[in-house]
Amino acid sequence: MARAPFELAEMRVAPGTRQQIDVPMARLYTHAPLHIPVEIVHGRHPGPVLLVCGGIHGDEINGVEIVRRLLHSRQLARLRGTLIAIPIVNVFGFVQHSRYLPDRRDLNRCFPGSEAGSLGGRMAALFREQIVDQASHIIDLHTGALHRTNLPQIRAKLTSCDETERMASAFGAPVILNSELRDGSLRHYAQSRGIPVLTYEAGEALRFDEWAITPGVRGVLRVMRRLGMLRGEHRRRTPPAAERATGSSWARAPIDGILRPQVRLGARVAKGERLGRVADPFGNAEGEVLSMADGIVIGMGRLPLVNEGEALFHIARFDVIEEAENAVETFQSSLEPPPDPLY
C-alpha cells in the first residue's frame, strides 16, 4: 500500500520527495507578506514525524545554521518517516535581530495561542495548528540570551516520558538538565499533548558558534537514528557520555560594576570558589562572585558591564562531579576545529 502524501498549508508532498513551503504568517505595515519557511522531507516508508525548529527567539541564530546543515545531509536520502525542518519560526524577530515580536512579547510564552489574541497568541496558534500538532517528536533549537552563552546542553522534562529520556541520551550533549516546564512555552504545550520534546541550548544570541552548531547537527542525526528514521550508526563518531544534572542555580553580581571573570565555560568549580570580581571603574569598590555549589559552569554572561543581582554564572550540580567533568572534557576534545571561523 502506497504511503499517503504529507499535507501542510494546502500543499501536498509526495512520498520520497522534499519540498519547501512558505506558510503565511502575517503582513508588515507595508502590506508585504511574511511567511514561516518550512522544508518537508517525506520518506517513502512510514515512521515518526520529527519537527526540528530554530529561531522561536528571533536573535538565536545557531539553530538556523543547524537546520541548514541538517537539510544538506546525504543521510536524508534514506529517511523513514517525515522531517519538518524550520530554520526560523519568529520571522519578525529574526528580521529585527530581536528575541521578541514587535509587541515585545516572547513567542515562546504564547502557546497554545489564540486566533483572536495578541500578535504572539495568533502566531503561536497558527504555528501550533499548521505544524506542531502534526509532529510526533520535536527538537527545539535555542542559544543563550543576548550577551549570555551556554555550554551545549539538553533541557527536557525527563520524568514525563520515557521517549523524551531516550532522545535526550541519544543526542550526545555533555549535560542533560532535567528542566521544569514553563507555562506558554512550546515544550510545555507539546508535553501536554504527549509529544516528546527536547530543547537544545548552545552558544550565544546573534552569533554563529561553531562549537555549538556542529554538535547540534550531529545530535539531531543521532536522535533520528534512535527513532529509526535513519539506518545504522555513524561509524566515525560515537556520542560522548552525557551526565544528568540534579539542579542548577545562578551566581549573581554582588555590586554594580565591571566584571572580570576568572573561570571559563565548562569549568569545574567548587562551592565558595571565586568565579570573578566586580569592581567600579576606579577599583574603589570591589566584590567577589562566589560559586554557591560544587558543579560545572554551563552558562555565563558575556557583557562585563553588570548591575547588582545580575545573573553571571550558571552552575549545574551533579551527584558525581568527576563524571560530569569527564563528560565535558570528552565532549570538548571530540570537536574538530573548523578550518575557518564563520564569524
Torsion of CA 170, 145, 247, 319, to 10 degrees: 60
What structural domains does the chain harbor? 6-227 (3.40.630.10), 246-334 (2.40.50.100)
Q: Where are the beta strands (DSSP E) in 14-109?
A: 17-27, 33-42, 45-53, 80-86
Residue showing cell 549545574: 316
pLDDT value of position 234: 54
Contact 342, 208 (CB under 8 A): yes
pLDDT value of position 38: 98
Contact 100, 178 (CB under 8 A): no
Per-residue cell: 92 = 519578525
Nearby residues of 31 by Cβ (< 8 Å), 6 or more positions away: none
pLDDT value of position 343: 46
For the chain, what is the largest distance between any 2 Cα atoms, rounded to a whole number of angstroms?
78
Considering only CA atoms, give the Rg of the chain.
21
Which has the closest alpha carbon to 72: 85, 89, 59, 62? 85
pLDDT tens for the chain, 343 residues: list them.
679 999 999 999 999 999 999 999 988 888 889 999 999 999 999 999 999 999 999 999 999 999 999 999 999 999 999 999 999 999 999 999 999 999 999 999 999 999 999 999 999 999 999 999 999 999 999 999 999 999 999 999 987 578 999 999 999 999 999 988 999 999 999 999 999 999 999 999 999 999 999 999 999 999 999 999 998 755 555 666 789 999 999 999 999 999 999 999 999 999 999 999 999 999 899 999 999 999 999 999 999 999 999 999 999 999 999 999 999 999 888 886 654 555 4
